[in-house]
Amino acid sequence: MRHVELNLDALVGPHFNFGGLSFGNIASEANKMAISNPKAAALQGLAKMRFLAQKGIPEAVLPPHERPAIRALRRLGFDGCDEMVLQSAARDCFPLLLRHCSASSMWTANAATVAPSVDTLDGRVHITPANLAAKFHRSVEAEFTALLLKKIFFNSKYFCHHPQLPAHADIGDEGAANHSRLSLSHGARGQHLFVFGFSALNHGMPRPKLYPARQSLEGSRAVARLNSLSEDQVAFVQQNPAAIDAGAFHNDVVAVGNECFLFLHEEAWCEQQSVLHDLSKRMGGGLQIFEVSSKELSLADAVKSYIFNSQLVTLPTGRMIMLCPAEARETPEANRLLCRLQEEAIPHLQIETFDLRQSMRNGGGPACLRLRIVLSDAELAAMHQSILLDESLYGRLISWVNKHYRSSLCPHDLTDPLLLRESREALDELTQILDLGSIYFFQS
């Protein structure tokens, strides 16, 4: 049975803004309260999706979350009509409103952790949404993400959904940004690498000194259990505290893997050589490792360039392609590394550079924008089909963005009731384009 990797990319929402809410994410903090361009952000993301779809990679479009999250604000005591809730929150506590207008759901790598049917004990695809408990503005996402994934992967014969972990930092789970699946091919039995930043129960483990670790060991272990993976398929690895303090708030800022290829920085993990030896043994010697030294590329330049946050995928021909942010080419050390990678790592590796500057300024690169899901042909046919990207859907989405999105948005525009109405009109139309029905709370 053929297996393919579906890349599930989120559309950027009409409320895309630079809130600077993510302490530990250097780009997010550096651009706090700057003017954003929601239209450009959405078009940049769609261009990346279309490129891969044209290469024969299954691409699916995830609709943005409703922002501002009026329903969540009501839970905090703001009442009246929706416009009154918005204006009361803006007047009483603008920073709180800002957290309910976050654009962070666009980074779908944090949406969930998925185990394909070829790996699970019951032969179904297992999906566990991330609780994102480390950051308040992200924890708001979990409920709608779970609803949306159930709507898309609705057939219980093929898909098994688990609730997100309880919303407590001790079992914080940041989704696939801290999870990698390695295998000889997409359809072969895989090894699952869970990278955590701290343990809530083992206080003897090292912790970062400057920025907080977000992924807990306890959360990682819980997700592995829920996703029906056997012990010989999972490895739990601690992220290097120095990497977190350099701005690598998730593992996917310092490491990326695809099938049997692993590309990572030498300071990505604790006890890294031992981990790599174990992974190679588990993979029967079939794992190809490209480890980058700090001398060749410092942690600071790795974070600045987001080179390890490149999107690494396998084409239908079997060749690999890497989608890099433009910043990787503009950072001299990272650009030299890309040249060496293309020459030495994988024969005929194709490297493409994409302008994702709006997302990058908010702290997310190509790999942040997608959730990888390995599916059999039957499973792919059993999911909601109207979100699969083709030229027709791409054209409709481009027209939709150009019709509804603003080209300039400052954080204080988020208090404007007109923006609320514009956004809801856009999302209501989008649910019709994607044939998803009434999924938003304002539609009920």
431 Cβ contact list (under 8 Å, min separation 6): 63, 437, 438, 439, 440, 443
Closest CA to 196 of 134, 249, 238, 242: 238
CA–CA separation, 13 and 210 (whole Å)? 31
CB contact at 8 A, 192 and 118: no
Q: Which of 3, 179, 192, 250 is catalytic?
A: 250
CB contact at 8 A, 374 and 3: yes
Closest CA to 295 of 236, 337, 258, 253: 337
250 part of the active site: yes
CA–CA separation, 130 and 175 (whole Å)? 5
What is the residue type of 403?
K
Q: Which of 174, 259, 327, 333 is catalytic?
A: 174
Element (H, E) at 340: helix 332-344
340 backbone φψ class: left, alpha, beta (φ>0; ψ -120 to 50) = alpha
Q: Which of 259, 368, 379, 404 is catalytic?
A: 368
CA–CA separation, 183 and 197 (whole Å)? 24
Edge-first strand order for the sheet with 179-182 is 179-182, 191-196, 234-238
368 part of the active site: yes
Residue 53: CB atoms within 10 Å:
21
Active-site annotation, residues? 174, 250, 368
